[in-house]
Chains A and B, each alone.
Chain A
Amino acid sequence: MDGLLLDIGLRHFLFVSLAVFVLGLYCVLTRKNAIGILLGIELILNSANINYIAFSHFSSGGYDGQIFAIFVIMLAAAEAVIGLAIVLGIYQNFSSIDIEAVDSLQG
């Protein structure tokens, strides 16, 4: 028990990342607000990054994980930009960012 808690290893980081991921997922699923969903997505991406870095540090000696993490950050930025642009567009058209209100594509 002592070793487990005090001896910080890969598992600890993974559990942290899992917690963030789960919370991010919860955010995505339960939010009605479009931006709220984006927040959840950011959390998920961050958790994935933690995983990358952790594995890079503990399981592999190279920089691959970190490079991937940088790429993820870059793409997260791009995606956030676009997402927010769309949200703004929806807001301008529907005057609301309630995702349940924008159901014009209802089949």
Chain B
Amino acid sequence: MDHPLLVSYLRWIVLFPLIGAIINGVFGAMLQKRFGKKAISIVACSVIGLAFIFALRAFFHLVSVEPEQRYLLDSVLRWIHIGSLQVDIAFAVDPLSGIMILIVAGIGGLIHVYSIGYMRDDEAYWRFFAYLNLFSAAMLTLVLADNLLLMFVGWEGVGLCSYGLIGFWYKEHENTTAGNKAFIVNRIGDAGFTLGVFIIFWSLAESGHGTVIFRDLSHTIHYLEGQMVWGLPAATLAALCLFVGAAGKSAQIPLYVWLPDAMAGPTPVSALIHAATMVTAGVYMMARMHFLFSLSPVALGVVATVGALTALFAATIGLAQFDIKKVLAYSTVSQLGYMVLGIGVGAYGAAIFHLMTHAFFKACLFLGSGSVIHAMGDEQDMRKMGGLREKMPLTFWTFLISTFAIAGIPPLAGFFSKDEILWQTFSGGHQFLWLLGFAAAAMTAFYMFRQVFMVFFGENRADEHTQEHLHESPPVMTYPLVVLALGAVFAGFLGVPIALGGSNIFEQWLAPVFAGGHAGPAVQHHIEATEYILMAASVGIAAAGIFLAYLMYYRRSVSPDIFTAVGGGVPYRAVFNKYYIDELYHATAVRGTLAFSWLSLNFDRYVIDFIVNGVAKVTARVGWAVGRFDDWIIDGLVNALADVTFGIGNRLRQVQTGNLSIYLYVIVGAVAAAQFLPRIPVEVLLPVIMLFVALVVVIGIALWLATRRIPWRLMFTKEGVSQLR
């Protein structure tokens, strides 16, 4: 891990599906029109096939080197290099991601092939495959990313594609609503994820070890020990934030509500996204960041508890559902709960093991249900089904095998993986959680076989028309079912525990990845008797569940009413209505958000606009007042000045009497007076002059005031003077 092997072909695992998505997305409509749907499917399936081939190549490359050296790195582009944040677009394959890319590309490829048949009659064929390819590219980016930021790019990408695919038949309003719900709930998770990334980077950067690259984080994460963020331990806070993100993607309480609604999308979508790949992203991310979770027992405890509770909670809801896909949806939530429980008790390898086996049988179950729905003419209510065993044998057998797997019956895959988790839980000291998981396992067996009996056995309860058209699906749909069923049978043998004589290759394979972890035993050291007892118990309870289902839905000797009538029917109704969780969310979160937006609108409309309009009005008033001021005072002053000047001039011109003798008088008088001026002492002269000036001013003002009352042109004419009187 310290010395990654540098390669350059990992990028093609992501690039091929991306190229396919671009071709089908940009040119899809035209290609489909010109060359038909075949062209689309050739493009789409070949790119995913190529991705799988390259994934195989990477896997075998890993196999060919020593366990300590199993780390391939393909650094594609220089991305962000700012300050202490140094991150590139780089893909890395280690044992963990090696398994993941095989699952994504392999099972994804099978689902691509299945979709050729399932979506045959849909006109938006090209859009579907474009989205499928884009989804694959995003998921592979998520898995192959060598750092948290690039993983987040893939994380968001799968969220976007799931939105597009769930709401694929967007003309129906409820489909778009389901797509919105998925995206919005995921968003809440994403907020937690980003918050977690920030806390990690920020806290590490404080001690100079800021990084988001996984292989570096695994070495430097211990610097988080003892650090506090906002009064809480940094490691716990970061781990819990990341878990919020995982809960959103992997549908744990309380963010699971989108997954059942997501069944509105086409069945291949449900198989790919909501069984095998996207929902596992959360589990994968937590496994990647195991070193962080190991630092915080508190966080691990929370994770385990939530996982166990989710497993049981979803199982109870699944007991009462009648929609074939809804049953599978809740079982997915429940199985994801198992995986999260595995992470929570430190059984990282077991959790990934269950992830892999679940991918096989759940995908097979979903595709099988798709086959059934297709044959039933898009009918999804199990009450209208029945007796499809004869009409669709291949679908029936693959479905049955997968159901045995999910119920945890040996030697099928589900037994090994689920049991491993339950054993690790019990031996890790979490007996109560084990009990929850144990109960959930019982219920899982029951409701899955309830589904099998209702759908494939008994008399068909559909109408005549539908019954006539019942047929097996075409090979393009059944071949993937077979492959997946084979996986469900044999995949388990990769993880046979030591207790049963195996060497748990799976656990060994993943050991280098989880070696740095503190909690959880990587490899079993010794065999305990308890393990056998627990194994027997879980098989036994599963068998009991199957038997009860057999009695209730095949033999019809036990009526469901026994259970539905318990407690006055209240528990049954609660379970049937999914504990009214959706209604609760609507009443609180949705209503609350809408109320807040209504409040903001009105705040803006009445307060902000009021202020703005008020300011405008005040400005207008001030402007008006200034205008008045200008008119009255300024103009008044100017006019007054003009009037005074005119008035004084008016008076002064009368000095020009035209009378020569007066002029002479004035001249002589002035000269005579000038004789005296030097003789008068200043104390007498100045006051006299000032008196004289004052007199002139007073007379001037008095005359001007007189002009106010008569027009200028009448000044000092007879009429004017008479008017003054």
Binding site for B on A (CB under 8 A): 25, 28-32, 34, 37, 99-100, 102-107
Docked-complex contact A99 and B660, CB < 8 angstroms? yes
Which of chain A's residues has its CB closest to B665's CB? Answer: A29
Instruction: Looking at the assembled complex, report how far the CB atom of A45 sits from the nearest CB atom of chain B, in whole angstroms.
Output: 15
The answer to whether B661 touches A107 (Cβ under 8 A) is no
CB closest chain-A residue, reference B672? A25
Q: Is there contact, CB below 8 Å, between A100 and B653?
A: no
- Chain B residues, Cβ within 8 Å of A100: 659-661
Judge whether B664 and A102 touch: CB under 8 Å: no
Contact (Cβ within 8 A) B655 A99: no
Q: Does B687 contact A (CB under 8 A)?
A: no
- Inter-subunit contact A106/B661 (CB<8 Å): no
In the complex, which residue of chain B has the Cβ closest to the Cβ of A25?
B668
- In angstroms, Cα B660 to Cα A6, docked, is 43
Which B645-662 residues have C-beta < 8 A from chain A?
652-661
Interchain CA distance A106-B663 in the complex, whole Å: 12
List residues of chain B with CB within 8 A of the CB of A106: 656-659
In the complex, are the beta carbons of A29 and B654 less than 8 A apart?
A: no
List B contacts of A104 (CB < 8 A): 658
Given contacts A100-B660, A106-B656, A106-B657, 6 further A-B pairs with CB under 8 A are: A25-B668, A28-B664, A29-B665, A30-B661, A102-B660, A103-B657
B668 touches A102 (CB 8 A): no
Size of interface on B: residues with Cβ below 8 Å to A: 13
CB distance from A74 to the nearest CB of B (A): 24
Q: Are A99 and B657 interface neighbours, CB within 8 A? A: no
Residues of A within 8 A of B668 (CB): 25, 28-29
Q: How far is the CA of A34 from the CA of B663 in the complex (A)?
A: 13
Can you report 30 A-B residue pairs in the complex whose CB atoms are below 8 A from each other? A25-B668, A28-B664, A29-B661, A29-B664, A29-B668, A30-B661, A31-B661, A32-B661, A34-B660, A37-B660, A99-B659, A99-B660, A99-B661, A100-B659, A100-B660, A102-B658, A102-B660, A103-B659, A104-B658, A105-B656, A105-B658, A106-B656, A106-B657, A106-B658, A106-B659, A107-B653, A107-B655, A107-B656, A107-B657, A107-B658
Bound complex: CA A99 to CA B654 (Å): 17
CA distance A9 to B668 in the complex (A): 29
State in angstroms the CA–CA spacing of A103 and B660 once bound together: 8
User: Which chain B residue has the least Cβ–Cβ distance from A28?
Assistant: B664
Report the nearest B residue to A100, measured CB to CB. Answer: B659
Please name all residues of chain A whose beta carbon is closer than 8 Å to the beta carbon of B659 when the two chains form the complex.
99-100, 103, 106
Minimal Cβ-Cβ distance residue in B for A40: B664
For residues 80 through 94 of chain B, which have their beta carbon under 8 Å from a beta carbon of chain A? none
List B contacts of A105 (CB < 8 A): 656, 658
- Closest A-chain residue to B655, C-beta based? A107
* Residues of A close to B664: CB separation below 8 A: 28-29, 37
**Residues of the B chain whose Cβ atoms lie less than 8 Å from the Cβ of A34:** 660
Contact in complex: A107, B654 (CB < 8 Å): yes
A3 to chain B, nearest CB (A): 30
Tell me the complex Cα distance, A100–B658, Å: 8
Interface centre among B652, B657, B659, B665 (most CB of A within 10 A): B659
In the bound assembly, the distance between CA atoms of A107 and B659 in angstroms comes to: 11
Report which residue of B654, B659, B660 has the largest number of chain A beta carbons within 10 angstroms of its beta carbon: B660
Contacts of A25 in B (CB 8 A): 668
CB contacts under 8 Å to A, within B145-198, are none
CB B722 to nearest CB in A, in angstroms, measures 21
C-alpha spacing A63/B190, complex, angstroms: 125
Closest partner residue, chain A, to B649 (CB atom): A107
Distance between A99 CB and nearest chain B CB, rounded to angstroms: 4
In the complex, what residues of A have CB within 8 A of residue B653's CB?
107
Min C-beta distance of A107 to chain B, whole Å: 3
What chain A residues lie within 8 Å of B655 (beta carbons)? 107
A24 CB to closest chain B CB, in angstroms? 11
